[in-house]
Amino acid sequence: MRTGDHRHRITLWQDVPEKQPNGDLTGERVHILDMWAKVTPMTGTRALNAAQILNGRPYEIEVRNPSPVQVTEDMLVQWDDTFITVKSAVDLDARGEVVLITGTATK
């Protein structure tokens, strides 16, 4: 992996639900981390297949492992004005240095 591949600035957010005294749920979006990433919209057959499973425009986001932060499915990735809902995060290498995040865009 070359350093130049990670040229997109992204922000990780997490929605934290909070129960009100009357029983309603409200939420707050908490800033987790800013980092550099390689953001790739899926295209062609891969995008069609992924969209059938994920419901939305699929993206792959490659980042250096943001230890000690664990990327989970209740997080959002903000890339410019696009919010991408995290669907999965897996290690790309045996050492756990690179994480591949798959998600769908929500506008």
User: Per residue in 5-58, pLDDT tens?
Assistant: 888 999 999 988 888 888 888 888 999 999 999 999 988 877 777 767 777 888
Structure confidence at residue 67 (pLDDT): 80
The closest of 9, 12, 3 to 103, measured between CA atoms, is 12
Which two tokens mark 23? 């029983």
Q: Identify any residues that bridge with 61 across adjacent strands, giving them in sequence order.
A: 39, 101
pTM equals 0.82
Contact 71, 87 (CB under 8 A): no
Query: How many residues in total does the chain contain?
Result: 107
